[in-house]
Copies of this chain bind each other. A is one copy, B any other.
Amino acid sequence: MAKQTAANAATKVAILGFGTVGSSVAQLLRGQKFPGIELTHIYNRGVERKRTGATAKGLNSGIVWTENIQDILKSDVDVVIETIGGIDPIEGWLRKALSSGKHVVTANKQLIAYKGAGLAKLARENNRVLVYNAAVAGGVPVIPATLHGLQGDRITRLSGILNGTCNFMLSHMEQGAEYADVLKQAQAAGYAEADPTADVDGYDARAKLCILVRAAMQIGINPDEVPAQTIRNVSAVDFAYAKELGCTVRQIARAELRGGVLRARVAPMLVPKSSPIAWSHGTQNMVVTSGEFGGDVVFSGHGAGGNPTAVAIVSDLLAVVHGSNSVALPVKKKTVTGEFMAPHYLRFIVRDKPGIVSAISGALTKVGANIDSILQRPGYPKDALPFVVTTEPTLTSTVEAAVKAISKMNTMLEAPLCLQMLVDDDRAED
């Protein structure tokens, strides 16, 4: 296997995709830093522009640059590193790579989240290794840590900040800015795409959550089963109210195994400032795993960017060269729900008139949700008044039923915002 290859001759490596991550990998492999590893092929569309560009500086002149994927798949490279992203046509290419005896290292979270089980099976059948530590939390080695260091535990909960773009935006909104402005700022800084959907609507974090759940909890889930709630309607006023509650707002990906059911959700949530989760600022990622025996373990660091992701990829490559095996996880299926028993934060924008609080509390009482606090900060206009109700731990669907009824009240100027609060005592009842 790979080990013999490494002992006898250099391990030949191809990189698919020469964008930020692919070029960082190439630069990391340059020189004699990792003896026994030779970058021989680079694939990219319009490859000539890449070959002559600044990011190719200093690379070995013997490298084959190609825009024909067959040049890679039919070559004698030992390891294919994929940094392009997306499912189609990548899945087919990587299947061919594995079938033709190549190991695969990939940073592709959507591919692994949706198609990882099948690819892993194909890799085992071909006695090849498929590794994807770069797909979750970039430079934070949470996948190798859970695979190699926490399999002896039973992880029952995990929560994390898995999307650096949202964390950048929300930690800037914490300083008082509005959503539209921080989105522009994030786009200008290169953190957010022109179409920010995958980040702000939670699909990126959701794919990573599913990969993490598989590695840490050995539960296979389809990302489409996990509710993802957008951060688009979080507003500066929510940070003001969150602060009064000792909290901030972050996009959280969380999963919890209880009573044979996997609860999983990606959403903006209120996070206590005292929680490790709130330590994370800017584009940092963070994951907290909770094990039945080992307790909480916290991981944090740079979740994205060319160099941190390249470190994860090259570490995977070294693992392949050192003869690492793909661990065949004993993955189980579980029923998945986005429901959590948690306190909820409800923010309303109303045209103020008598009786509103009574109507809202009535709607909550009707579904059995107990109000924990009602907050109305001074200084807002009466004709567009934001105010907040928090509930005692209640199932998300129960709260949402009440919110649906409340949203029909004619004093409501916009749809109410309903956020879970990520607190430690959310396990009170079930």
Contacts and interface: CB of A to CB of B under 8 A. Distances in A.
Interface of A: 3, 24, 28, 33, 133, 139-154, 276, 279, 291, 293-302, 307-308, 310-319, 322-325, 327-328
Number of copies: 2
A149 B141 contact: yes
Nearest to A299: B299
B291 A311 contact: yes
Contacts of A302: 294-297
Contacts of A151: 314-315, 318-319
Please give me the 4 A-B residue pairs with the lowest Cβ-Cβ distance, nearest first.
A141-B149, A152-B314, A144-B148, A297-B301
A149 B315 contact: yes
A151 B139 CA distance: 11
Contact of A139 (B154, B276, B297): B297
A324 to B, nearest CB: 7
A302 B301 CA distance: 19
A311 B148 CA distance: 11
A81 to B, nearest CB: 11
A322 B327 contact: yes
A307 B294 contact: yes
Contacts of A314: 151-153
Contacts of A3: 325
Contact of A295 (B308, B319, B325): B308
Contacts of A24: 293
Nearest to A297: B301
A131 to B, nearest CB: 9
Contacts of A152: 28, 310-318
A130 to B, nearest CB: 15
A315 B149 CA distance: 5
Contacts of A324: 148, 324-325
A148 B153 contact: no
Given A142-B145, A144-B147, A152-B314, 9 more contacts: A139-B294, A139-B295, A141-B145, A141-B149, A151-B319, A294-B311, A297-B300, A297-B301, A299-B299
Contacts of A316: 152
**Which residue of A145, A291, A322 has the most chain B CB atoms within 10 A of its CB atom?**
A145
